[in-house]
Structure 1
Amino acid sequence: MTLLSSSSGLKTETNSLRLCFYGAGSMAEAIVRGLLDRGLAEPSRVSMLNRSNMGRLEELADRYGVQVSSELDAKAQRSMLHEADVIFLSMKPKDAADAIRKLQGIVTSKQMIVSVIAGLSIRTIEQLLGQPAPIVRTMPNTSSTIGLGATGISFSSSVDDNQRQLAQTMFEAIGLTAIVEEPLIEAVTGVSGSGPAYVYYLMEAMIEAGVKLGLSEEASRDLTVQTVLGAAQMVKSTGENPAELRRKVTSPNGSTQAAIETLDKHDFSNGIIRAVARAAERASEMGADIERSALS
């Protein structure tokens, strides 16, 4: 196993590390794709595990050249986990407690644990492992799949500077990163973790409205997609506040003002604020469920 850091302060090249993804869902695949596409990992040094879906694992092995194993081969899974420098906890939240308990006696203090599980606290991970560990808690989103993700990151006290840099480097391979204190990870979940779904929901409504007004579904979809893409790029490229950009395109007594007034009548802004807060709250509830399971 390659050490992640040393007393000399030398940084380990990411592609010399062994990475093990404990859970092989879409987020795990997004991270693997980003790391491989940017040359930050070697396929032969990446392993992906799941409980029993060999079809999914074979698909990933064919697509990326990574090593795979299901729970049906417990010996191979144990070896991949034990030899990894970085273990990504990427299973479903409902499976997390039992899966992480199985790492007791396998993981060591030299391994860095990276969690992408919504609501799962660093403290609970340590309880499930039965020991303190360098733990990186993250909240990516599904746009990571195309390298445009937004990931919140927080660290346990055992994570050193080199490991912090390593974690940032890995997640920057799939988009933007923001370092936050752990209590704010739930806010990240509400804003960006669940955020793509809010935008898709808005787009659904815009497309439906266009069709009802006589546009073909294809035209309405294309116009909506380009409008959302252009608006996001305007905010990013100009650096202006979205409120200011909105004001610039809202002429007095014009069509846009009429639309904004209609949204206000339906409490659009407060609805979004409440939705973000509820997503954050639900992430906390999920974490509490996992913690109760861990202690039972």
Structure 2
Amino acid sequence: MNIVCVGAGSMAESMVHGWIQKKILKPEEIAVTNKSDKERLEFLKDEYGVKIVQEEKNELKNADFILLAMKPKDVEAALTSIKDKLSGDAVILSVVAGVSIQTIQKYVGNLPVARAMPNTSAKIGKSATGVAWSRYVSTNQQHDLRNLLSSIGGVTVVEESQLDAVTAVAGSGPAYIYYFAEAMTEAAIQNGLSPGDAKKLVRQTFSGAADMLQHEDFAELRKKVTSPNGTTAAGIAALEKNDFKGIVSQCVEQAAARSQALGREFE
């Protein structure tokens, strides 16, 4: 299997790292290109052993998958520059937020196109990924897509109309959790812990809680930790007083709305 990554940012790197680490792909089966950052391409080549797409772009002709991983504003230029090199057998797999399958096909024709929204936890094989595909993606290609994406984490097949919500929850979600971890660490330091101990305790708390989430209902887990009139109850009460769920709801709504807006810019 051969993959060409068009775009070489953190998302592409996370996926490449995950595929190589899980031995789904060999480094020589992956080629990378971007708009102009040659230093970035050389870094990926040295770090992972992948190939750099040459000026003739012949690597595109032999690709089974073309991973689109650039910024939304660069999609048109990227697709225009590669469309003449694409074969009808290649699946275009886009991880670009907001840009629809229909928009991509406007530039490349009726090639098989899939949209996925993974997150950077792909780097350690723990991405939460939503995926949708066009009617031109064959059953065998759907199977290959599932295998490719499941090698870097969990995969949920959704309708394309649901991908804005997937983007807001799974794609952007790790940043919300990291931000919460930052806030907990700062609060721990303000309450007397050293920065080192605060970070250590927060990391282990998140790690243990994440493992517990795999086995039990979220609300039940919270209730088991929250004894009446106890310390956890006091903390939860402060969150409720400040409309914690409402804040999270606004966070997801705003992220989803931004994903929709990015899509409208290209319609």
Using the size of structure 2 for normalisation, the TM-score is: 0.96
In structure 2, the partner of 1:14 is: none
- AA aligned to 2:249 is I
Deviates more, 1:120-129 or 1:52-61: 52-61
- AA aligned to 1:22 is V
In structure 2, the partner of 1:120 is: 99
- AA aligned to 1:57 is L
In structure 2, the partner of 1:140 is: 118
Summarize the alignment of residues 110-189 of structure 1 with structure 2, pairs less than 5 Å apart: 110-129=89-108, 131-189=109-167
Tell me how far 1:49 sits from its aligned partner. 0.5
Query: Aligned match of 2:83 in 97, 104, 119?
Result: 104
Query: Aligned match of 1:74 in 29, 47, 55?
Result: 55
Segments of 5+ residues of structure 1 without an aligned counterpart are 1-16, 292-296
SS of corresponding position for 1:154: strand
Tell me how far 1:102 sits from its aligned partner. 2.0
Q: CA RMSD in A?
A: 1.3
Query: Aligned match of 1:268 in 225, 244, 247?
Result: 244
Query: Aligned match of 2:38 in 50, 54, 59?
Result: 54
Tell me how far 1:97 sits from its aligned partner. 1.6
**Matches of 1:39 and 1:207, distance apart in 2:** 36
1:126-145: CA deviation from partner (whole Å, max 9, x where unpaired): 0122x111111000111112
- AA aligned to 1:58 is E
In structure 1, the partner of 2:180 is: 202
In structure 2, the partner of 1:278 is: 254
Tell me how far 1:74 sits from its aligned partner. 3.1
Tell me how far 1:258 sits from its aligned partner. 1.0
**Matches of 2:22 and 2:241, distance apart in 1:** 47
1:6-61: CA deviation from partner (whole Å, max 9, x where unpaired): xxxxxxxxxxx221111111111122222222222222221101122221111111
Q: Does 1:24 align with 2:8?
A: yes
In structure 1, the partner of 2:72 is: 93
**Matches of 1:80 and 1:160, distance apart in 2:** 22
Q: Does 1:35 align with 2:19?
A: yes
Contact 2:35–2:78 at 8 Å: present in 1 too?
no
Percent sequence identity over aligned pairs: 42
SS of corresponding position for 1:159: coil
Query: Aligned match of 1:45 in 29, 36, 46?
Result: 29
**Matches of 1:267 and 1:192, distance apart in 2:** 22
SS of corresponding position for 1:21: strand
- AA aligned to 1:216 is S
Tell me how far 1:169 sits from its aligned partner. 0.9
1:227-257: CA deviation from partner (whole Å, max 9, x where unpaired): 1111111111x2x211111111111111111
Tell me how far 1:158 sits from its aligned partner. 0.6
**Matches of 1:235 and 1:38, distance apart in 2:** 24
1:82-121: CA deviation from partner (whole Å, max 9, x where unpaired): 2212111111112112111223322232111100101111
Segments of 5+ residues of structure 2 without an aligned counterpart are none
SS of corresponding position for 1:74: coil
**Matches of 2:42 and 2:176, distance apart in 1:** 33
Q: Does 1:287 align with 2:266?
A: no
Contact 1:96–1:290 at 8 Å: present in 2 too?
no
**Matches of 2:193 and 2:22, distance apart in 1:** 41
In structure 1, the partner of 2:223 is: 247
- AA aligned to 1:74 is E
Tell me how far 1:214 sits from its aligned partner. 0.7
In structure 2, the partner of 1:7 is: none
